[in-house]
Structure 1
Amino acid sequence: MINSMKKDSFKIGIFSLVIFLFYLYLSYCTPLTHDDWTWGIEHGMNRFYDGFKDYNGRYFGNFCELIITRIDWFRILIMGVFGAAIVVLPLLIVKTTKLTIAFLSLLLMLSVSSDMFSSTFAWAAGFANYNTATICILVYLLIVKNIFYEKRPSYSMWLIIFAIPLGIGSQLFVEHATIYNIFTGSFVIIYSFMKFRKIFYFHVTYLISAFIGAIIMFSNGAYVRIFTGADNYRTIDTDMGFFEKIYSIFSSNMYKYLIMNNIFLNFVLAMFCIFLLVKIGTNLVTWKIWVKNIFMVILLIYPFYQPIVVDRMQLSIFSDVAKNSEFEAWLSLLFYLTILFTIILFFKKSSLKVELSFYLISAVFVASPLFFVTPFGSRCFIISYVFFVLFILRLFVYLVDEKIIDLKPLTIPIVTLALCLLVAYSIIFTQIKISDNDRMNSIYKQVSDGKKVVTVKPLKNNKFLWHSELIIPSGQADNFKIYFNLPKDIELKNAPE
């Protein structure tokens, strides 16, 4: 038994190394885009010298962006490490050394929409804020996961000391993560006290530190400007009522980012919940049998709605776009609630029920501040996506441990799909690297030839990059010239794709 566990741990170690090298290669192939060029020149340093006054309170995220746009090897290294960490940390949190489950974690993280991938991992500015915030949350969950065990947790003095930089630092990346960390820190203290009748120093130290970090972030003058309507980019709509605002935002586009666009993730969520209902939902009272059957119908229908009804058949249930969005939003909410109440109503193991419900509720709660601040994009939902992945992996571990699912028949399909995506991403970003080199060589040649109008070629596979095409004319294009030491008097022109 011990030898088997050591062997599995060794395999996970090799897996982690391979995934690190994979993300390291992707980061090597990923060019800077959009406002990365601004951060990489004097304009970015001016923000730093000004203390990011009235810019935002993402102090650690901004500082990370300043570094990674200036030091290429550090950007490649840190993006490789954090890319692998988002895959591996959930495995540590759910306590598994099963290689098949590790490949499922990789498969799920590579199955994010191209929009989410391009605005998080493949965009230095997005990575510096959103991926880092995600890692901080995962590190905290890794430490406090023991509150869901039967044995009373214990924390070393070093961990209690570590809670201070972790709590403060976690708050200085993105605003909705800052608010979530206060929520989860409070939940951990309350739940631990109810379960163990004890308040732990680590939990309290983290929460106090998180409050300090939140104060540091939101003391930035940018948030006063947002609340007063003086900010030209981020706004809070005060014309609507509280619930009207929530309904309007969720039914217009939030449901897509949070749930509907996660096509493969939704399929896996539905499949595991169906397994749960079929295997555990036996000897039920009449009303639960009806609920179980209704849940199974919803779980079978929803995952196929987006890829088949919308994408393949291009069918709209309603001709009016707004009504159709409302229908999809309600359908998405119904799917989410079905998963949540599958756990609440049919899962019998109390501690695991709380843990699984916590991941599901966290996926929504961490996105809830976005109801009130616009605009937002798919990058804002990477943390929610990771919580759904945590839910799947933890449920999968339970289903395997209880022998409800046999792991062996699933190994080849999961590993094959994961490796196919790994190879596909490697090819895609190799082509991006080649086209980026070709673009810059072409620009420098045109400049050396004395041309005053320089054509900028588009990058290949640019849907996996965040706004890689220049906006001309704009400050972005001017900063592009400064970053790459191009003559100021040349005129840039985008080549047709």
Structure 2
Amino acid sequence: MLNERLHLKTSLLAMAIFTFFGFLAYNTPLGGDDWAWGSAFGEEQWKNWFDNYNGRYLSNSLVIILAKVQWLRVLFMALISTMLVMLIGRLGSQHQEGRMRTAIALILFLIVPVNMFGQTFGWLSGYVNYVFSAVLLLMYITINNKFLDAEEPQKFLRRDFLLMTLLGLLTPLVVEHVTLFIVFTSFLTILYTLIRFKKLYAIHLTYTVASIIGTVLMLSNRAYAGLFGGQASYGRVVYADRPDMFFDIFKESITPILFIDSYAIHMVLSGLMVLFLMQKGTDGKKPKVFLKYGTMSFFLGVIFFFLVIRPALGDYYLGEFTEDAEALFFIFYFLALSGALFVFSTETKNRTRFAFYAIGVLLMTAPFSVLYPYGPRVAFSAYVFLVMIGTELALQIISKSGISNRMTRMPLYSTVAVLTMFYAFTIWMNGHTDRTRIAKVQNALQNDPQTVEITELPYPQYHWMPTPLPGNSHIEHYRNYYGIPDSTDIIVQPYFPAPR
């Protein structure tokens, strides 16, 4: 009876999350590349099977379909977003812990930087490439999660083999850096099980072979030959012609997006690390005492940096040395975070889990020390691993604090309620405005007008190129998608009147 109640509560939570993300999806306007994929450009690429474009065969095909069929788009985005959060919840073994883990994960995803939200959850093309690939990866991690808690070799069901084969074949066909990561992870999993259980699992070999086949299929596209000559349509390899080039890329591209813009999750992680370290003993050993309190002070300094130093002193508080100093600061921050979790975690399974999550952040970012460009949507994969670190860390702190689940649930669910209401209002405003302006354009086109007016969205920062502004490279695709003749001028009006 108790298990049935727990299952029911978990199902109700999943339904609530699905409804929320479905509402966001319904109100998310198409933008940028979406108009291209949904018009003649997408059909042409599909006919040529994306030859010399890229090897994202699965995600490209999905975007073409979803850009044309709204109900399917809403269903897909609601389902994938729910899986994104619930799969992290599944990493816990108990239903009660799973619901708390899910709530924490949802909070951490909802404090994502606005520019990252706009290029993932708020943009169909970015969503299919970066959120969908993260869910495929989480499915693989969830299946393998049993190894972290097991003391003896584990058995797999036949359905696990089928699912792992499909995941291995399909995940590489979504986005490149995730493709590289899963191939590495598949070999890492084989090595881990060999060391721990002295056993080689057929399911892991199956996934590895399938992922290699998928990777070869992706990279067989002619577009990737152009990476090394800077001719690819979406990126290029940056050659290190001087020793400090990698550091320059890190400070100019990665630090601002993954650390500075993502300040909210790093403040949460720093606060959690202080609480985590407060619960740990030192056995009276002076080196460990120094390490514990020194690390705690550093994480308090990280919070002070975001709360006080940057707001008070501005972006260039050290002049020309600011970018270098911040890059070094966050390199040390990541090393301190990873090192403290490894040193002060008392159980081997927790050390292993935190080490894997830290490796995930590193490997989802490392390719962009030579690949260009690096943007908020690309950083989302690393952000997912930060969410997993924060979720696991919070659960461990709560379990050791002695605080009852009832006392913990109230602040968690209240925070979820506030954040979901904020996003529901903001994205609904954008969706309502988009539906209204499209209807006005369609009505105006019946009279063969010389001009049509469209209104900007009230909060365009939550989406990617949602309005075809003058000079926007996608304005022709916007015309094709909505059937606006070339002879009709498009005039964009601001949503909010200009201040006097």
Q: TM-score, normalised by structure 1?
A: 0.94
Query: Aligned partners of 2:241 and 2:45: how far apart in 1?
Result: 34
Post-superposition offset of 1:463: 0.7
Alpha-carbon distance in structure 1 between the residues aligned to 2:153 and 2:115? 42
Q: Tell me the residue number matched to 2:129.
A: 129
Q: Is the CA contact 2:240–2:246 (under 8 Å) kept in the aligned structure 1?
A: no
Give the equivalent residue in structure 1 for 2:251: 251
Aligned mates of 2:490, 2:52 — CA distance in 1: 32
1:232 deviation in Å? 5.6
Q: Could you tell me how far 1:270 is from its partner in structure 2?
A: 1.6
Q: Deviations over 1:94-150 (max 9, x none)?
A: 334233332211111111011111101111100111111101100000101112122
Assess, with a 3 A threshold, how the Cα gap between structure 1 residues 258 and 474 changes in structure 2: closer, same or farther. closer
- Contact between 1:40 and 1:69, CA under 8 Å: does it hold in 2? yes
Deviation at 1:15, TM superposition (A): 0.5
Matching residue of 1:176: 177
Give the length in aligned residue pairs: 492
* 1:347-367 deviation digits (Å, cap 9, x = unpaired): 221122111111112112122
SS of the residue aligned with 2:372?
Answer: coil
Kindly indicate whether the alpha-carbon contact (under 8 Å) linking 1:235 and 1:373 is maintained by their aligned counterparts in 2.
Answer: yes
Shift of 1:393: 2.0
Matching residue of 2:355: 357
Contact 1:235-1:374 at 8 Å conserved across structures: yes
Where does residue 118 of structure 1 map in the other structure?
A: 118
Is 2:55–2:220's contact at 8 Å kept on the other side of the alignment? Answer: yes
Contact 1:100/1:415 (<8 A) preserved:
no
Displacement after TM superposition at 1:45 (Å): 0.9
Asked whether the 8 Å contact 1:160–1:202 carries over to 2, the reply is yes
Match of 1:298 in 2: 298
1:91–1:474: structure 2 CA closer, same or farther, 3 Å change rule?
Answer: closer
Q: Which amino acid aligns with 2:164?
A: A
> Does the residue aligned with 2:373 lie in a helix, a strand or coil?
coil
Superposition deviation, residue 403 in structure 1? 4.3
For the 8 Å contact 2:253–2:374, the answer to whether it is kept is: no
Give the drift of 1:5.
Answer: 4.5
Q: Report deviation, 1:431.
A: 0.8
Query: In the alignment, which residue of structure 2 is the partner of 1:163?
Result: 164
Aligned-partner SS, 2:42: helix
**Alignment partner for residue 17 of structure 2, among 1, 14, 19?**
19
Q: What amino acid maps onto 2:319 in structure 1?
A: S
Amino acid of the structure 1 residue aligned with 2:475: A
1:7: which partner in 2?
Answer: 5
Q: Return closer, same or farther for 1:266/1:9 CA change in 2, 3 Å cut-off.
A: farther
Query: Secondary structure in 2 aligned to 1:69?
Result: helix
Number of the residue aligned with 2:498:
none
Please name the residue that 2:200 is paired with. Answer: 199
Q: Residue in 2 aligned with 1:109?
A: 109
List aligned pairs for 1:17-56, cutoff 5 A.
17-56=15-54
Report Cα offsets for 1:232-285 as digits up to 9, x if no partner.
6522122534x5332111111202322332223212212222222111133241
Segments of 5+ residues of structure 2 without an aligned counterpart are 496-500
Summarize deviations over 1:394-415 as a string: whole Å, max 9, x none. 2333333444665444332221
Match of 1:81 in 2: 79
What is the deviation of 1:8?
A: 3.0
Matched position secondary structure for 2:68? coil
Post-superposition CA distance 1:430-471 (Å, at most 9, x none): 111221122223333443454313232101211111111214
What residue number does 1:327 align with? 325
Where does the alignment leave 5 or more consecutive residues of structure 1 unmatched?
Answer: none
Residues 274 and 5 from structure 1, CA distance in 2 versus in 1: closer, same or farther, beyond 3 angstroms? farther
Q: Distance in 1 between matches of 2:83 and 2:204?
A: 23
Q: Which residue of 1 aligns with 2:423?
A: 425
Counterpart AA for 1:250: F
Structure-1 separation of matches of 2:188 and 2:56: 24
What secondary structure, in the 3-state scheme, does the structure 2 residue paired with 1:493 have?
strand
2:364 match: 366
The change in CA–CA distance for 1:268 and 1:317 in structure 2 (over 3 A counts) is same
Task: Quote the Cα distance in structure 1 between the aligned partners of 2:224 and 2:482.
Answer: 33
Contact 2:59–2:129 (8 Å) recurs in 1: yes
Alpha-carbon distance change, 406 to 284 in structure 1, aligned in 2, over 3 angstroms: farther
Instruction: Letter of the 1:193 partner, please give it.
Output: L
Distance across 2 between alignment mates of 1:399 and 1:406: 12
Query: Does the 8 Å contact 2:54/2:224 carry over to 1?
Result: yes
User: How far, CA to CA, are the matches of 2:482 and 2:187 in structure 1?
Assistant: 47
Greater Cα offset, 182-191 or 439-448: 439-448
**Where does residue 461 of structure 2 map in the other structure?**
463
Contact 2:342 2:354 in 1 (8 A): no
Q: For 1:312 and 1:439, how far apart are their aligned partners in 2?
A: 41
Of 337, 340, 345 in structure 2, the residue corresponding to residue 339 of structure 1 is: 337
DSSP-derived class of the 2:319 partner: coil
Q: In the alignment, which residue of structure 1 is the partner of 2:190?
A: 189
Correspondence for 1:224? 225
Amino-acid identity (%) = 23
SS in 1 for 2:235: coil
Q: Deviation above 6 Å: which 4+ runs of structure 1?
A: none
Output the amino acid matched with 1:210: S
**For residue 48 of structure 1, what is the amino acid of its counterpart?**
W
The 1:240–1:95 alpha-carbon spacing in structure 2 relative to 1, beyond 3 Å, is farther
**Structure 1 stretch 383-392 or stretch 111-120: which is displaced more?**
383-392
Range with bigger deviation, 177-186 or 434-443: 434-443
Within the candidate set 83, 91, 94, 2:92 is matched to: 94
Q: Which residue of 1 aligns with 2:280?
A: 280
Partner of 1:491: 489
1:394 and 1:70, CA in 2 relative to 1: closer, same or farther beyond 3 A? same
Q: Which amino acid aligns with 2:438?
A: M
Q: Contact 2:249–2:369 at 8 Å: present in 1 too?
A: yes
- Structure 1 Cα separation of the partners of residues 402 and 185 of structure 2: 31
Q: Which amino acid aligns with 1:294?
A: G
1:232/1:484 CA distance change after superposition, 3 Å: closer
Deviation at 1:6, TM superposition (A): 3.9
Other structure's SS at 2:95 match: coil
Contact 1:61 1:172 in 2 (8 A): yes
The secondary structure found in structure 1 opposite 2:490 is: strand
Q: Is the 8 A contact 1:9 1:97 kept in 2?
A: yes
